[in-house]
């Protein structure tokens, strides 16, 4: 049997897809509470991925069911819990007290937004037929002049063909402002922001033959786009994040075929104020 990968191997693999950034949250968000912990020697049986901490995530990365002392007295061995590593895009509400002792939690926030949502997403651009070799990178956001927020490139598709691909990838749209299905799309902008300043590069490149792809619709952005005849598709912010989790999970399965990779798509648990108590029934795996 092929040896299970180590924490170090998974960390390096994730970093190759989501390059660390100086202003991003640390990749190692939660490290196992063990003085002898070594990422080079800790092995992984399963990897779970989600946008944020959810009930399903805690069921997979928690301590598991209570010890069955009756079985132990009868000489029966309780099944060993899988050695687990977790990836979260937005880990900020993680309750560390509910994370199992040997579980490592990795995260990427800014780099994930840049590379795996509706921003500088080369994989999505390729699906839409964009020539990524000649595409322009749009940079500058929230005081960071180097932050990549989008890609603008040439394409040769119809509006109907683009929408078909986007529905397959993201499901229902939050909003859309498009022409007929036969309208030619010559420029596609995949953007993580939707303001007048960000709309300008796409509008200059193609006018009504340009399509602006983003997450959340904004009234001001839609007004400017309509004024300039720009086509717009908004796929929803959460849908874009889920796409990134699916894409990362596929890469991990390909890179580590012997590891059980699980994806969790559900609502994040509400933030608990200090002093409040939360009671949840333990979930016992089948």
Say how far apart CA 254 and CA 80 lie, in whole Å. Answer: 25
Both 210 and 68 in one domain: the answer is no
Both 47 and 99 in one domain: the answer is yes
Domain membership flag for residue 275: no
Say how far apart CA 53 and CA 49 lie, in whole Å. Answer: 10
Say how far apart CA 32 and CA 54 lie, in whole Å. Answer: 20
Domain membership flag for residue 269: no
What local confidence, expressed as pLDDT, does residue 234 receive?
A: 97
Both 71 and 178 in one domain: the answer is no
What local confidence, expressed as pLDDT, does residue 285 receive?
A: 35
Domain membership flag for residue 286: no
Both 123 and 229 in one domain: the answer is yes
State the CATH number of the domain containing residue 46.
3.40.1390.30
Q: What is the dihedral of CA 124, 105, 253, 266, to 10 degrees?
A: -60
* Nearest alpha-carbon partner for 110 in 67, 146, 64, 157: 146
DSSP letter at 132 equals T
DSSP letter at 26 equals P
Q: What is the dihedral of CA 25, 26, 28, 29, to 10 degrees?
A: -40
Q: Are 246 and 263 in contact (CB under 8 A)?
A: yes
Say how far apart CA 173 and CA 236 lie, in whole Å. Answer: 7
Both 230 and 124 in one domain: the answer is yes
Both 155 and 223 in one domain: the answer is yes
* Nearest alpha-carbon partner for 113 in 144, 135, 136: 144
Q: Are 213 and 127 in contact (CB under 8 A)?
A: no
Both 139 and 48 in one domain: the answer is no
Say how far apart CA 160 and CA 183 lie, in whole Å. Answer: 8
Annotated binding site: 113, 237, 241
What local confidence, expressed as pLDDT, does residue 57 receive?
A: 96
Both 164 and 97 in one domain: the answer is no
Say how far apart CA 196 and CA 200 lie, in whole Å. Answer: 6
pTM of the model: 0.87
* Nearest alpha-carbon partner for 188 in 163, 216, 209, 167: 209
Both 86 and 12 in one domain: the answer is yes
Range of the domain at 228: 119-234
Helical segments of the chain, H only: 7-17, 55-61, 69-73, 110-116, 122-127, 159-170, 196-206, 219-227, 237-255
Domain membership flag for residue 1: no
What local confidence, expressed as pLDDT, does residue 44 receive?
A: 97
Say how far apart CA 171 and CA 175 lie, in whole Å. Answer: 12
What local confidence, expressed as pLDDT, does residue 281 receive?
A: 37
Domain membership flag for residue 80: yes
Both 89 and 125 in one domain: the answer is no
Strands (E), 75-202: 84-88, 104-107, 136-141, 144-158, 175-177, 184-191
pLDDT tens, N- to C-terminus, the chain (286 residues): 578 999 999 999 999 999 999 889 999 999 998 889 999 999 999 999 999 999 999 999 998 765 554 555 555 554 567 999 999 999 999 999 999 999 999 999 999 999 999 999 999 999 999 999 999 999 887 778 888 999 999 999 999 999 999 999 999 999 999 989 999 999 999 999 888 777 766 655 567 789 999 999 988 889 988 888 899 999 999 999 999 999 999 999 999 999 999 999 998 877 655 554 443 433 333 3
Domain membership flag for residue 222: yes
What local confidence, expressed as pLDDT, does residue 286 receive?
A: 33
Both 90 and 137 in one domain: the answer is no
Say how far apart CA 262 and CA 64 lie, in whole Å. Answer: 16
DSSP letter at 6 equals B
Annotated binding site for a divalent metal cation: 113, 237, 241
Both 123 and 228 in one domain: the answer is yes
What local confidence, expressed as pLDDT, does residue 283 receive?
A: 36
Q: What is the dihedral of CA 265, 92, 151, 129, to 10 degrees?
A: -20
Our count of domains for the chain comes to 2
């Amino acid at each position: 049997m092929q040896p299970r990968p180590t924490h170090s191997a998974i960390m390096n693999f994730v970093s190759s897809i989501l390059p660390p950034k100086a202003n991003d949250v640390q990749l190692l968000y939660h490290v196992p509470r063990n003085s002898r912990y070594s990422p080079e020697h800790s092995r992984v049986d399963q990897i779970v991925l989600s946008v944020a901490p959810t009930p399903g995530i805690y069921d997979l990365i928690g301590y598991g069911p209570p010890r069955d002392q009756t079985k132990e007295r009868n000489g029966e061995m309780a099944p060993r819990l899988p050695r687990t590593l977790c990836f979260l895009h937005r880990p900020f509400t993680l309750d560390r007290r509910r994370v199992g002792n040997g579980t490592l939690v990795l995260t990427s926030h800014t780099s994930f937004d840049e590379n795996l949502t509706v921003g500088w997403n080369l994989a999505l651009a390729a699906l839409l037929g964009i020539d990524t070799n000649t595409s322009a990178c749009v940079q500058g956001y929230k005081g960071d002049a180097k932050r990549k927020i989008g890609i603008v490139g040439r394409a040769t598709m119809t509006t109907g063909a683009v929408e078909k691909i986007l529905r397959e990838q993201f499901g229902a749209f939050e909003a859309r402002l498009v022409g007929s299905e036969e309208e030619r799309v010559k420029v596609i902008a995949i953007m993580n922001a939707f303001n007048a300043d960000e709309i300008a590069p796409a509008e200059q490149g193609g006018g009504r033959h340009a399509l602006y792809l983003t997450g959340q619709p904004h009234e001001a952005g839609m007004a400017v786009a309509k004024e300039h005849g720009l086509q717009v598709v908004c796929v929803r912010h959460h849908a874009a994040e889920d796409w990134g989790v699916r894409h990362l999970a596929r890469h991990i399965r390909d890179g580590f075929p012997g590891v059980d990779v699980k994806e969790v798509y559900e609502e994040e648990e509400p933030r608990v104020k200090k002093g409040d108590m939360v009671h949840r029934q333990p979930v016992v795996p089948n």
